[in-house]
Chain A
């Protein structure tokens, strides 16, 4: 069974709309992340959260807002969607405080298509 659950698997949206991507992890980790992979591009780091607090934000746009209602949840709200936002969004988690072990565990991703 997957330990990091992302919902939905596929999402189609119209330009200008707002969507929320869901991520829950059941690994007991204390840090969660969002990555994005656009067509023919590498996975790109977006955010990191630890204990429900933002650690780092590499995305320039305020249209992307992570939301953490519980320590094992890190949802991603995207507003004013644009076609360039079309990508697969991956949630990941890790356990901090393990001597710098950067072993990330990834979900299966949510593929977003903006028309």
Chain B
């Protein structure tokens, strides 16, 4: 079946440092799945951070970027300079052929300290 593997947390970085959270996927049910990053801030529900539906394209939001690389089946999340408010749990996910069915990674907890 489909699967997503991402950096095991927690990841701890200091403010203004750069960040990369790795995500690789295996899609058996669909050749070119849509790819997503979701985020859960403390006390809030899971929300979409960014999505990319075309291989080779880059998505960006709130200073985060991720590029859909079909050769390496990767969708790494990067940010040049993190802030304390970025502390959250980040989930990589892929879309299947079933409407509303996303396959998620286990999540990566990011802790940014001042």
Report which A residues bind B (CB closer than 8 A).
Answer: 2, 4, 31, 33, 40-45, 48, 50, 55-56, 58, 90, 92, 94, 96, 100, 102-109
Contact = CB atoms under 8 A, between A and B. Distances in A.
Contacts, number: 71
A20 B103 CA distance: 25
8 contacts: A4-B45, A44-B104, A45-B101, A55-B100, A58-B101, A90-B45, A103-B48, A106-B46
B47 A48 contact: no
Interface of B: 4, 34, 36, 38, 44-48, 51, 53, 91, 95, 98-107
B99 A56 contact: yes
- Interface pairs A-B: 10 shortest CB-CB: A106-B46, A43-B104, A45-B101, A48-B100, A42-B104, A106-B45, A33-B100, A108-B45, A102-B95, A42-B106
